[in-house]
Amino acid sequence: MRWVKDNIDKVKANVTARAVAVDVDTAVSLYDAYLALVTATDDARRQRNLVASRMKIEAAKMTPDVRAEVIAQGKALKASVTSLESRLAQAESAFVAEAAKLPNRTHPDVPLGAEDAATTLRTVGAPRDFPADGMAPRSHVDIGADLDLFDFEAAARVAGNKFYYLKNAGALLEIALINWSMTFVAGRGFTPMTAPDLAREDVVAGCGFAPRGEASQVYRLEESDLCLVGTAEIPLGGMYAGQVLTSKQLPMRLAAFSHCFRREVGSAGTATRGLYRVHQFSKVELFVIARPEDSEAIHKELLGLEEAMFTALGLCYRVLDMPSGDLGNPAYRKFDIEAWMPGRGIGGGWGEISSASNCTDFQARRLGIRYREESSDDEAAAGSRDASVGGKGATRYAHTLNATACAVPRIDCRHFWKTTSKPTEA
């Protein structure tokens, strides 16, 4: 917040470019009010403690009138501290609620504008020429129905719209994709994991997702502070919340399989039918905790890993540098990969199958993920000390990055479109 105050014009320009609903002036004003109350509360506590100390040392020497006066002064200060602490808690809550809306800074190379301002960095492969093969492209919904790969109607009766059963080769394909993806990334230095499908609200918010509100994509459990996670990025980030790591542990590369749950508020239309946009799906997510000076190189490494996977699957795809208005709050820069889907829309179209984001210290600050530069001699003492930023042995906020290794329904969509009408080729 000190940086925000010192660079308020840059922050406002960044908020505008990213189309984020936050009042920077209000956030700064609430921060100032919070700091003023911190000072006032500390002063009142100090005075209360001085009076209490005086009573302990001098009570026996006081005259009745002086003693009564000091006791009254102590009671008044105690009441004042109680009142100030209550106001301080309210001020902190108001300040944090508004300041948490502030987005991350933005990489200077990010294109400005809404989603349609994305820059295409490269296209790999070419869309299949169906007429040359004597075929017409068909929707994955039609192909899957013909081959008995899924059942949307039964799922709707059980759980509502945008849920599904995978069956036969469809179910086997999901398992195969998850196993292949985990094996692929494990062979490239990632620790394979499974993760909880639930996380506490503070962890969800710490990762930059809104657990409450009409526009929230998060499912919350009633009478609980737990939420269903929309990505394994959340429990993986929460795993190291409040931890001080050592530089020798970084970069920490994690790959987790989890179920993902999203409300998909506002999504509708033929382009989102079938498996493309659903409330529950399986996904393998990559998550990296890194030193700040390494995060940009690791971001490109994650993108390269995604491309290697999709090339191995034989997909035609393009890589996009996503614009400021499509970054959300956490990402400093985000690359999306879209695959060509012949049955999407009229005449085919591009559909997102993955993204890779560098969130710099945005999540680490909210979750409290720090690291300390350690020599081999210092390593044994790690975790028992703390220090401010700067100097030998000081702690710094780490950078976090995430990338999609395999969002199963999106890859299913693309693979179903690659099949012919023969069940043996599904």
* 47 marked as part of a ligand binding site: no
- Is 69 annotated in a binding site? The answer is no
> Residue 41 annotated as binding?
no
Which CATH number does 1-101 carry?
Answer: 1.10.287.40
Two structure tokens written together for 38: 């911190």
Per-residue pLDDT of the chain (426 residues; tens, 9 = 90+): 999 999 999 999 999 999 999 999 999 999 999 999 999 999 999 999 998 888 888 878 888 888 888 889 889 999 999 999 999 999 999 999 999 999 999 999 999 999 999 999 999 999 888 888 888 888 888 888 999 999 999 999 999 999 999 999 999 999 999 999 999 999 999 999 999 999 999 999 999 988 776 667 888 998 899 999 999 999 999 999 999 999 999 999 999 999 999 988 655 555 567 888 899 999 999 999 999 999 999 999 999 999 999 999 999 999 999 999 999 999 999 999 999 988 777 678 899 999 999 999 999 999 999 999 986 555 444 444 443 444 457 899 999 999 999 998 777 655 554 544 333 333
| 278 assigned ligand-binding residue | yes
Domain(s) of CATH 1.10.287.40: residues in the chain: 1-101
Q: So which residues are the catalytic ones?
A: 262, 277, 352, 355, 410
pTM score:
0.86
Q: What Å distances lie between residue 376 and 134, 369, 379, 385, CA to CA? A: 65, 21, 5, 16
Cα four-point dihedral sign 323, 324, 325, 330: positive
> Is 86 assigned to a binding site?
no
* Distance separating alpha carbons of residues 31 and 21, to the nearest angstrom: 18
Distance CA(25)–CA(4), nearest Å, equals 10
Report pLDDT for 309.
96
Overall fold of domain 115-416: BirA Bifunctional Protein; domain 2 (3.30.930)
Residue 281 marked in a binding site: yes
104 is known to lie in a ligand binding site: no
The number of residues in the chain equals 426
Give the pLDDT of residue 271.
Answer: 59
> What does the pLDDT read at residue 42?
95
Integer Cα distance of 202 and 225 in angstroms? 8
User: What is the C-alpha separation between 413 and 277, in angstroms, rounded?
Assistant: 10
Span(s) in the chain for CATH 3.30.930.10: 115-416
Alpha-carbon distance values, 366 to 191, 229, 240, 363 (Å)? 24, 17, 12, 5
Q: Is the peptide bond before 251 cis (omega within 30 degrees of 0)?
A: yes
CA dist 350 and 316 (Å) reads 10
Q: Do the annotations mark residue 355 as ligand-binding?
A: yes
